[in-house]
Amino acid sequence: MNLRQKVGQLIMVEIPGTRLTSEVEAFIRDCHPAGVALFGHNLAGPWTTAKFISDMQAVAADAGDAPLLVGMDQEGGQVSHLRYPCAELPSQMARTAASGPPAAGEAAEIMGSEMQRLGVNLAFAPVLDVNTNPANPVIGPRAFSDDPDTVAACGIAAIEGLRRAGIFSMAKHFPGHGDTDLDSHLARNRVMHSLERLREVELKPFRAAIAAGVDSICSAHVSFPALDPSGLPATLSPRIMTDLLRGELGFKGVLFSDALVMDAIAAGKATNIPPAAIAAVNAGIDCLMVLGKLSQQRQCYEMLVHAVEIGLISERRLDEAVERVQSLRLRASLPPAVTPAWPDMSHQAAATRMAQAAVTCLRDRQNLLPLTGNCSDVGVIEFASGSISPVETARNEPLGASTLAFLLGRRLPEARFLALQSDAPNALETLDAFLRDCTRVVVATRSAILDPAQVALLKHAASQGLPVIHMALRSPYDATLEPRIGTVLLTYGDQPAGVAAAVDVLLGEASASGKLPIQLEKPAQPPVLGTLPLLN
């Protein structure tokens, strides 16, 4: 390899569009990126996506490069770019509620097989964060549990499931994003736990994943003073990326950064990304998730080339990263021929089965389940949140379409329905007017723990003296927000199969057999987002 080819191994990039363009082709030929991260804006149905990936692989091969690493966030639940005709699998937390490691492994294998069929060879999964903070705005049900041993067991099962499907795994977000109260897309967190606590909780699942042969690890843009007193985020910290991860934990795979465009690193300025990229490589990162506009990514690449030329990045550090990245790329399989049969109904059936097994009845003190009799007095209220997190707004029912209203309305046509955005003008007055004609109420929240406006509306509904069934469709921590509500169902995600399963329980057509995978001991407090200033 020449220098430019070597430096290309340091970057995984974002590309525009759904088809190969001359601009994208020139970028691959000029910058020799190690891989491409696909997002929702790159996906236009399975055959178009498969052709796009195949075309990019052909360009890389023609440029003399190894197969591209083609990756995506495909965790299941809320963070899933592949939707119908692919199977939408329940969240990691829902899988734990369903059966734990068996469901985690089966779901990972299904998602992996569908990715592999398209030509995707790297899953940005599993999430190995231990979600000990109920008000965590970016992890929540993306985690398997708040118990490190459970997270470790389910994480190993997921890694093995991906491996069976021929997909590389990526454990994230090292050394742990589970006890944070800010979203790294928007700000930087500082976790103040002791070294002893970090070893017992946050690090345990990663240690297990390394022993299980995880292919890659993704860093967190989070500061851990107990691990590095300088206050550097883990992505930029040699003490964390090299001394801890490589030295103490013995990780030998590829170390990726989380996206450098996140404000925890970039602080809203594209000019902050190249120097951060250089610092991350010197800290021990092998491959940088640069992302953003192609012009900005090209600029970052050129600055990395210059950094090597003038010695800011040593040739030894470069060669070390190149060797690891190339080793992974040379194991990557090229896209298979995509057959016309899609969707795979066995995958859809498995998603349904897992979602049904995950539904948890936390309490039913007034025996309101199932809904019976003439339901003309039943009011069904769905809250949609405002802008609370880029992760949370990835799917924002019911304002676009409502699976709950569609499924429940077919079976209870006499019931009344209200879809209400929590921050809408006059939301409280609208809710009040709706409740006047109800004697029983079903309230569906979506991560209200992150949305004080939803909390206020939920509390208002509970204060009217009506029997209330609360369906927490995303975060199970919503169940702690209003203790006066005596009946609570948890789904750990609002993908269609999960909502359908909750409707079946609501109507008595299925039982709620899910096991609570977290501790719900006291009312959780909604976070005040964005209060911690970015570190320099």
Q: What is the pLDDT along the chain (536 residues), one digit of tens a residue?
A: 999 999 999 999 999 999 999 999 999 999 999 999 999 999 998 999 999 999 999 999 999 999 999 999 999 998 999 988 999 999 999 999 999 999 999 999 999 999 999 999 999 999 999 999 998 989 999 999 999 999 999 999 999 999 999 999 999 999 999 999 877 777 788 999 999 999 999 999 999 999 999 999 999 999 999 999 999 999 999 999 999 999 999 999 999 999 999 988 988 888 999 999 999 999 999 999 999 999 999 999 999 999 999 999 999 999 999 999 999 999 998 777 777 778 999 999 999 999 999 999 999 999 999 999 999 999 999 998 765 666 665 555 665 678 999 999 999 999 999 999 888 899 999 999 999 999 999 999 999 999 999 999 999 999 999 999 999 999 999 999 999 999 999 999 999 999 999 999 999 999 999 999 999 965 545 544 333 333 32
The length of the chain, given as a count of residues: 536
Q: Which residue among the candidates 55, 185, 344, 460 is catalytic per the annotation? A: 185
Using an 8 Å Cβ cutoff, are 425 and 451 in contact?
A: no
CA distance linking residue 431 with residue 473, whole number of Å: 19
Threshold 0.75, pTM exceeds: yes
CA distance linking residue 419 with residue 427, whole number of Å: 10
CA distance linking residue 62 with residue 5, whole number of Å: 13
81 part of the active site = no
Mark 516-528 as b/e (b = at least 16 C-beta within 10 Å): bbbebeeebebbe
Q: What distances in angstroms separate CA 169 from CA 125, 221, 250, 288, 475, one per listed residue? A: 6, 20, 17, 16, 25
DSSP E strand boundaries for 15-147: 35-38, 69-72, 74-76, 79-80, 122-123
- Sign of the Cα pseudo-torsion (315, 317, 320, 325, in order): negative
What's residue 530's pLDDT?
Answer: 38
How many beta carbons lie within 10 A of that of residue 35, not counting itself? 27
**Token pair listed for 84:** 């119908």
CA distance linking residue 520 with residue 134, whole number of Å: 9
185 part of the active site = yes
Residue 454, SS3 per DSSP: helix
Segment holding 352, helix H or strand E? helix 345-358
Place of tokens 């539904």: 359
- Sign of the Cα pseudo-torsion (308, 21, 262, 156, in order): negative
Residue 104: name the closest of 127, 120, 79, 83 by CA. Answer: 127
What's residue 525's pLDDT?
Answer: 54
Using an 8 Å Cβ cutoff, are 183 and 391 in contact?
A: yes
How many beta carbons lie within 10 A of that of residue 125, not counting itself? 32
Pairing relationship of beta strands 216-219 and 254-256 according to DSSP bridges: parallel
Using an 8 Å Cβ cutoff, are 92 and 124 in contact?
A: no
CA distance linking residue 304 with residue 300, whole number of Å: 6
Q: Which residue among the candidates 65, 147, 258, 478 is catalytic per the annotation? A: 258
CA distance linking residue 243 with residue 255, whole number of Å: 13
CA distance linking residue 536 with residue 533, whole number of Å: 9
Cβ burial of 408 (10 Å; 0-12, 13-18, 19+) is buried
